Amino acid sequence: MATLEIHDLHVTVEADNATKEILKGVDLTVKQGETHAIMGPNGSGKSTLAYSLAGHPKYTITGGTVTLDGENVLEMSVDERARAGLFLAMQYPVEIPGVSVSNFLRTSATAVRGEAPKLRTWVKEVKETMERLSMDPAFAERNVNEGFSGGEKKRHEILQLELLKPKIAILDETDSGLDVDALRVVSEGVNRVRETGEVGTLLITHYTRILRYIKPDFVHVFSAGRIVESGGAELADKLENEGYEAYAKHEVDMKGGASA
């Protein structure tokens, strides 16, 4: 069973000609088959955690460890992390002009699987997955995310998730900007992956609305760059009713605050 272990993770970023500490000692373990929701207000460091795990060069790891199946993730390049089984669905997916969705997906699958998928079965797999996500098959020949709406970009992220079948999926505010119909379709895609029992999911969100569709096993409250409370799904209900105000003292207590 794949396990992502984060221990005492500290991360800084350069901003306004100064070094600012964003993550201030994050501890978290995500096992294959589990779903963890990370919730917290803007600026608490949630997205910093996601991009630091993926290897974004903007963020500097200053302390702590991250391992996947005992292997040191922090020593891996971005592509090595992907091949090891880490997947990041971005909050703001980028456009890649000149690269078609079909070529992008097959190249990604080849890199992760270690060999190119057989074309006939691959085309069928992509088509069936797109249908489940209510995506027009014509999108396969369009450039990656170019001219896509917000909802279309998020569906494309989940299309990648379903096809690449990672060990650990990090979903950074996948619900951001989605209308009700798109949220339902995207959530169904995530749930299909979860139901295989082969993927551990780290779901980062501000709001509880996506948790009505994707039921977490664990909920963690992020504040001032660290996890300040953990619990079951009932913790999300508490946050829905009470908000994050009770955790504001953590923001005040931590000098300099935190930023996503």
Q: What would the pLDDT profile of 30-89 be if each residue is shown by its tens digit?
A: 999 999 999 988 888 999 999 999 999 999 999 999 999 999 999 999 999 999 999 999
Summarised one tens digit per residue, pLDDT across range 173-212 is 998 888 899 999 999 999 999 999 899 999 999 888 899 9
Q: Which residue has 């396990």 as its token pair?
A: 3
168-172 sheet: strands from edge to edge: 86-89, 168-172, 200-205, 35-39, 218-223, 226-231
Output the average pLDDT for the chain: 91
pLDDT band for 251, please (50, 70, 90 cuts). low
Which residues constitute the domain of residue 111? 3-253
Backbone angles phi, psi at 42, to 5 degrees: -55, 140
Residue 259 included in any domain: no
pLDDT at 21: 94
Answer yes or no: is 258 within a domain. Answer: no
What was the pLDDT predicted at 249?
A: 60
CATH number at residue 206: 3.40.50.300
The answer to whether residue 252 scores a pLDDT higher than 90 is: no
Q: Which of 203, 232, 234, 254 is nearest to 40 (CA)?
A: 203
Q: Would residue 260 count as lying in a domain? A: no
Domain assignment present for residue 34? The answer is yes
pLDDT of residue 260: 46
Residue 171 within any structural domain of the chain: yes
Q: Which pair of tokens denotes residue 26?
A: 């994050």
* Residue range 113-151, pLDDT digits in tens: 889 999 989 999 999 999 999 999 999 999 999 999 989
CA angle, 4 then 220 then 21, to 5°? 75
DSSP-assigned states of every residue in 119-138: HHHHHHHHHHHHHHTT--GG
Number of domains in the chain: 1
pLDDT score recorded for residue 253: 52
> Closest by alpha carbon to 101, among 152, 165, 171?
152
